[in-house]
Amino acid sequence: MGGPTEDDGGTEAAVTDATALSDRDAALVEELLAGSHRALARVITRIENRSPGYRGIVAALHGHTGGADVIGITGSPGAGKSTLVDKLAAAYRDRGDTVGVVAVDPSSPYTGGAVLGDRIRMGSNVGDMDVFFRSMSARGQLGGLSMATADAVKALDAFGKDVVIIETVGAGQNEVDVVRTADTVAVLVQPGSGDDIQTLKAGILEIGDVFVVNKADMDGAERTLAELEEMVHRRESPTKGLDTGHHGFEVPDHPDDGADEASADGEADDAPVWTPEVLRTVANTGDGVAALIDAFDAHASHLRESGEIQATKRQRYAEEIRTLVRSDVGALATDEIERRGGIDDLADAVRRRETDPYSVAAEIVAPIAACVESGDR
């Protein structure tokens, strides 16, 4: 099972190959860290295309991350996410922050390209070099985020952006992908959108740190605000006595950490608890944007002061490691299938009753398992 090389566009599954930096890529990383927007754009293109060597670039940038506040903006199409993100970026710039924006568009199921990638956005920030905007394809992932998006956020963070905003396509419950990349998540709802409220009930409610009724000058805004307020209160009541962690992640119990000694009101210690805020905005005019940024700042402070930021980052990196390992092992298995004649030949052998799916799978995995076992010795 020979390892792939960078030249053949292989899987980069071997750690030494996947994270090795060529001299050219090392120079590109240095240019990015020195503040070159051109280098930043080139790195994100390499990341989005998953070009050979991109993993080494991301690995080299990782040690320079951790300085940016990462904010996820999600909601159904038509809620006004792009307009609000534009106004948010302008407001952050007014107070002196540099901003990076990754807008994740719905992707074509045929080409993987961003359907809305060519649309004009960020009109309030045209020409401002301290606002870096990039539209990316969701690459078929219903949650709106791909690993490429998470890596692009790392590039913006390492570049030195103070705030990184991720705008995602609304896809209901699958928006939990946002949580794995963003520190703070804002869920946008437009007035009178009964279907959106039902979607929130289906699960997206659990990922929001801030809920925003955008287009609050429309009819039905007060009712939508009231419904969201009620849902936020109901969100907390059913989980009294249960520690579900930030953004609804499950926190495993440890027998000796006193978790079973929680008081009747569900608080095992004096750690502050974040109650999601429900705000109104009118993105077209900028009304409510300042209050929304205040809410983002308050949540960022809460994460730091409560220590939750460490837990969320640990969970995020754990999930990223799992995803990468699954991807790499899957790529190795795909290579082994091709060595055995391809999936169609194997399926035909099963169809002819010459073998069965379990036996085929065991034979494919056997060389991979042998390599792992030999590495343990």
Quick: pLDDT tens for 90-149: 999 999 999 999 988 765 444 444 444 434 455 666 677 899 999 887 655 544 466 888
Containing structural domain, residue 371: 324-376
Within-domain flag for 27:
yes
316 domain-assigned = no
Q: Which two tokens stand for residue 333?
A: 């298995």
- Please tell me whether residues 107 and 72 are part of one structural domain: yes
> Is residue 76 classed exposed, middle or buried when 0-12, 13-18 and 19+ CB atoms within 10 A define those classes?
buried
> Between 16 and 327, where is the model more confident?
327
Helices 147-159 & 54-62 angle (0-180, nearest 10): 50
Last residue of a domain, one of 32, 64, 96: 64
**Residue 301 maps to which CATH number?**
3.40.50.300
Whether residue 266 is contained in a domain is answered as: no
The tally of domains found in the chain comes to 3
Domain final residue, candidates 23, 41, 64? 64
Give the pLDDT confidence of 353-371 residue by residue, as tens digits: 999 999 999 999 999 899 8
Report phi then psi at 69, rounded to 5: -85, 120
pLDDT of residue 201 exceeding 70, the answer is no
- Within-domain flag for 137: yes
Band (77; pLDDT cuts 50, 70, 90): confident
> What is the Cα–Cα distance from 107 to 357, expressed in whole angstroms?
33
- What confidence score (pLDDT) does residue 268 get? 43
In a domain, 264, yes or no: no
Q: Which residues neighbour 241 within 8 Å (Cβ) at sequence distance 6 or greater?
A: 262, 264, 266
- Establish if 255 belongs to a structural domain: no
Are 177 and 292 in the same domain? Answer: yes
Q: Is residue 166 part of a domain?
A: yes
- Among 216, 246, 211, 203, smallest CA distance to 228 is for 211
Please check whether residue 253 lies inside any domain of the structure: no
pTM of the model: 0.79
pLDDT digits (tens, 9 = 90+) for 308-333: 999 989 988 998 899 889 989 999 99
Q: State whether 50 and 81 are in the same domain.
A: no
pLDDT at 244: 43
